[in-house]
Chains A and B, each alone.
Chain A
Amino acid sequence: MFKLRIEKLGLACIDDTRSIGRMSIFFFQGIWRNFVPFVQISKIMEQVWFIGYKSVFVIVLTAMFTGMVLGLQGYYTLVDFGSEATLGSAVAMTLIRELGPVLSAIMIAARAGSAMAAEIGVMRISEQIDALETMDIHPVRFTFSPRLSASIISFPLLTALFDVTGIFGGFLSGVVMLDVNRYIYMDRVIRSIELADVTGGFVKALVFGVIVSTMCCYKGFFAHISGSETGQGAKSVSLATTNAVVNSCILILVSDYIITSFLV
């Protein structure tokens, strides 16, 4: 019994090590294949449209309510200390440094990341990826490279949109609903933000973009060996999609802590 457990543990470790190795090769191939002539501009733009433009509504909606909640919670906390005038700084700093990059990345992972994993997973189980190989088309270049580039472009832009919308949301709840002085709110926003905060937020967004696109494409690409007993079926695609989103979210939060510890 004990021997069996040790064996299982050993097998799990070997599987995980293999998986990390496979993902690393997949990631570096994805980067490298972006630079192999010719550059796939139209495919990248298509993905920017899908990952970036089509996420705008979700990002605006999430950012608006996040900003409004921050304004509301911040006001009632600050008013006890008579410092409600600093509401603008509190909202802006929280959004630009932390919530903007993290929440945008999680929302994009849920919307576009799941779609990436499912689409590539279906390509895998319907032999479309095998077909690429038989046509001498590099499947990683065809499926992953454009999505990786598009994520690197889209994530920082969507994070910027999230920040601006969130600050406006804070303005709505703090200024319009709770009567904080509008000039003081905006003045605090402008004065408190430094270039390092914005740069830090963008660095995070960039890293999250790489994490989400790599994890989601990887899970889809290897959906047939995702550990599902059902092998190459619909179940393996659903499992790959779920794993892709869950793992992306966990990695976003873990890497957020690591990046923040370097930035502060």
Chain B
Amino acid sequence: MDQPFIELIDIHKSFSGNHVLDGVNLSIETGRVTCVIGKSGTGKSVLLKHIIGLMQPDSGQVCVNGLPTNQMDNIQRHRFYRQISYMFQDNALFDFLTVWENIALPLTEKKKIPMDQIRQRVKEKMEALEISNHENKYPAQLSGGIRKRVALARALITEPVAVLFDEPTSGLDPVRRNSVHAMITTYQKEFGFTAVIVSHDIPQIFTISQRLAMLDQGKIIYFGKSDGIFQTDNDVVKAFISGKEP
């Protein structure tokens, strides 16, 4: 079996005595779409933030390509950040920058790519996400859906190896939701990146993800193929996917 791209080993995290992650083990395989589902407040975003390094576990390890993130030196850490992108639930767009500047930011700040190439890349992403006519607007002048697409464009602009999506479709209408899902699928197939998606979009998420993990009370109670979730005997999982109380 191939080594997973990202591996979470016995992750524990608590806030003011509230145990949010209680021994989470999860393997994210290279080139696959893994979706993390679960009720609100079960620590799905916290889990994602542990992967990207925005939060440190109380105990346990996050490994990327077999290397624990807490043992990475500066060069390895920079390399890791170049490989991975994160799309925030509330977009985290810079309100003092225009749409174009927001999308180009990860490239313009580094000055490693010539400006004409940056322009070309931003143009391509804006066209793909149908936001070209908002180029000079500020985030405050955009609707929630457009902001989401701008955030998505920014996450994809560096052409990362892995993208972490924190509820990429929250606040979108069903049409836009489907187009975001379609876009993630298309891009994932085109570039072959590894994707981790935190989402509540049941049943749509089953069609775009190859692996599913369900988080409940700080533990992964289901991990496996997307279609396998319907065969599970776990009452909590069954209740969640059918939208009922267990």
Which A residues are closer than 8 A to B by beta carbons? Answer: 38, 119, 123, 126-128, 130-131, 133-137, 142
Top 10 closest pairs, chain A to chain B, by CB: A136-B81, A131-B92, A134-B86, A127-B92, A135-B106, A137-B109, A128-B92, A127-B88, A130-B54, A134-B52
The answer for the CA separation of A119 and B53 in the assembled complex, in Å, is 24
Contact between B82 and A136, CB atoms less than 8 A apart:
yes
Q: In the complex, what residues of A have CB within 8 A of residue B158's CB?
A: 135
Chain A, Cβ-Cβ closest to B151: A131
Verify if B169 is at the interface (C-beta below 8 Å from A). Answer: no
Verify if B58 is at the interface (C-beta below 8 Å from A). Answer: no
Verify if B94 is at the interface (C-beta below 8 Å from A). Answer: yes
User: Interface of chain B, helix or strand or loop or mixed?
Assistant: loop
Contact between A130 and B105, CB atoms less than 8 A apart:
no
Q: Which of B107-153 contact A (CB under 8 A)?
A: 109-111
The answer for the CA separation of A126 and B88 in the assembled complex, in Å, is 10
Contact between A133 and B54, CB atoms less than 8 A apart:
yes
Contact between B111 and A126, CB atoms less than 8 A apart:
no
Verify if B90 is at the interface (C-beta below 8 Å from A). Answer: yes
User: Interface of chain A, helix or strand or loop or mixed?
Assistant: helix
* Chain B min CB distance to A134 (Å): 4
* Chain B min CB distance to A253 (Å): 32
Q: In the complex, what residues of B have CB within 8 A of residue A133's CB?
A: 53-54
Q: How many chain B residues touch the partner (CB < 8 A)?
A: 22
The answer for the CA separation of A58 and B38 in the assembled complex, in Å, is 54
Q: In the complex, what residues of B have CB within 8 A of residue A142's CB?
A: 109
Q: In the complex, what residues of B have CB within 8 A of residue A137's CB?
A: 105-106, 109-110
Task: Pick the residue among B49, B81, B90, B96 that contacts A135 (CB under 8 A).
Answer: B81
Contact between A131 and B81, CB atoms less than 8 A apart:
no
Verify if B194 is at the interface (C-beta below 8 Å from A). Answer: no
Chain B, Cβ-Cβ closest to A134: B86
Verify if B244 is at the interface (C-beta below 8 Å from A). Answer: no
The answer for the CA separation of A52 and B110 in the assembled complex, in Å, is 28
The answer for the CA separation of A60 and B158 in the assembled complex, in Å, is 47
Known: A123-B94, A130-B88. 4 other contacts (CB 8 A): A131-B88, A134-B85, A134-B86, A135-B85
**Provided the pairs A126-B90, A128-B94, A130-B88 are in contact, do residues A135 and B109 lie with their beta carbons within 8 angstroms?**
yes
* Chain B min CB distance to A211 (Å): 25
Q: Which of B66-105 contact A (CB under 8 A)?
A: 78, 81-82, 84-86, 88, 90, 92-94, 96, 105
The answer for the CA separation of A135 and B92 in the assembled complex, in Å, is 12
The answer for the CA separation of A127 and B154 in the assembled complex, in Å, is 15
A-B contact pairs, 14 of them (CB 8 A): A123-B94, A127-B90, A128-B94, A130-B54, A130-B92, A131-B86, A131-B94, A133-B54, A134-B85, A134-B86, A135-B85, A135-B109, A136-B78, A136-B81
Contact between A134 and B54, CB atoms less than 8 A apart:
yes
Q: In the complex, what residues of B have CB within 8 A of residue A123's CB?
A: 94
